[in-house]
Amino acid sequence: MPYDPARDPWRGSAVSPTSLGRAGAAVTPSDDADLERYARIRVFAPAALESAEVSILPLDAADGEPLTLPVPVGLVSVLEFLVRRVLATGTTPGLIIHTVN
């Protein structure tokens, strides 16, 4: 599924990884479905995990070009990417993931 500007609330706006979110929702990773609304994501890896990774498709990435990032265990991370999909494949089970809009 290619990038859809109609689903991008920041189209034409300056976005900062440090700006505050106005809305959020829980994310269930999926290899097939894009997020309902493209977003930054907040990821929490519980301390019970030995290590953690999240696999994403940034806005401009093709479907077959995921980016897999390490996530620090026991800490919250807000990724510095606008994300259109969080993939199940490559994402550590047990992560708590939310959109930040």
Written as one string, the DSSP assignment of 78-96 is: E-SS-EEEEESTTSPTT-E
Domain ranges of the chain: 30-101
Per cent of the chain over pLDDT 70 is: 92
Q: How many CB atoms lie within 10 A of CB 45?
A: 24
Q: Among candidates 4, 12, 14, which has minimal Cα distance to 60? A: 4
Cα dist from 61 to 47, 48, 83, whole Å: 30, 31, 9
Instruction: Give tens-digit pLDDT for 6-32.
Output: 988 877 776 565 666 778 999 999 999
* 36: pLDDT strictly greater than 60: yes
Query: How many other CB atoms are found less than 10 A from the CB of residue 82?
Result: 18
> CA-CA distance, 87 to 3, in Å (whole number)?
16
- pLDDT digit string, tens, across residues 37-48: 999 999 999 999
- Digit-coded pLDDT (tens) for 62-87: 999 999 999 999 999 999 899 999 99
